[in-house]
Amino acid sequence: MKRILAVLLLMVMTISLSACGGEGKGGSDLVKVGDTIISENELEQFMEFEAFTQGYDLSQIPAEQLQLAKAQMLDYMVSIECIRQYYAGKEDEILPDTFETDLKNFLDESKNNEYISNFLKEKKISDETLAKMFNDQYFMSSYYEEVKAGMENLDQDARAHYDANIENFKVDEVTASHILVDKESAAREILAKLEAGEKFEDLAKEYGTDGTKDTGGSLGTFGRGAMVKEFEDAAFALTPGEISDVVRTDFGYHIIMVTDKNQGTRTYEESRESIVANLVSQEVKKKIYDLKDNTEIEYLTDEYTALAGA
């Protein structure tokens, strides 16, 4: 379900899993969707909660970017309210039999976690707000699945997309680790120790000067364009198990070890899931535009909607 929600939320231009709705609960009214009013206070609450879940500090975001983020969130809030109203009267079909118990557990867990509880109190986020956030995941998931079920030629379309865009499925990536130091002399000494049989991971932890030292120098898997040119050229020239000479970049002096290399083209079977998700998401986006066109929506301010293109 989490994957479905992430895809749906992306296509309706939200920041992540959040929700809205209900009658205005304070602050100026921003938009009326059917009989539901979304207020400034609700927008602020959901922005705060979203930032909290994603690890962002809203106070550190430049004013212009924050205003745009609020505009996108408000656009999403309108979208999910349209979906909710689309399913009006069908709630029993959308919500699972265990919904009430699951909701209670969700609220209890939130309150019993001191860190989360303190945040909710500080930002004055109510149980009603949390309940709507929890509730909306089912409406979003149902809408995604309904749209997907209506795409009768999805498998054929996915295959056609793969064949027409084969270049997009080419793979050129390596899995590598490095040891970064400030001086070439230090890099040479480490290289000599490696040649003498000492372990790369141990030396990375002992001598590394960046954050990767804590994980034995691991950089994970990356493709072309992810690293500076000098580093990329050296890394992609290595074969799995091979260690580079000293490589100089603006960051210092590196010794690189490649542990895996993947080059070629992903098969359709390997790519199908992501293609299908993308095609369904595009269709969901179109359907949401249709929902908006068929829902009585009245914007009560242009403070945010102008930025979101509403």
Instruction: Supply the pLDDT for residue 27.
Output: 64
Model pTM score = 0.69
Beta bridge partners of 170: 265
| Dihedral over Cα of 155, 157, 162, 163: its sign | positive
Ranges of H-type helices in the chain: 2-11, 40-54, 63-86, 91-94, 99-112, 114-122, 127-149, 154-164, 184-195, 200-207, 229-237, 268-293, 305-308
In terms of C-beta density within 10 A (0-12 exposed, 13-18 middle, 19 or more buried), how is residue 199 classed? exposed
Q: pLDDT (tens digit, 0 to 9) for every residue of the chain, 310 residues total? A: 444 334 334 433 333 333 333 344 456 999 999 999 999 999 998 888 888 888 888 888 888 888 888 999 899 899 999 999 999 999 999 999 999 999 999 999 988 999 999 999 998 888 888 888 888 889 999 999 999 999 999 999 999 999 999 999 999 999 999 999 999 999 999 999 999 999 999 999 999 999 999 999 999 999 999 999 999 999 999 999 999 999 999 999 999 999 999 999 999 999 999 999 999 999 999 999 999 999 999 999 888 766 655 5
pLDDT for res 17:
31
Cα end-to-end distance, the chain, whole Å: 29
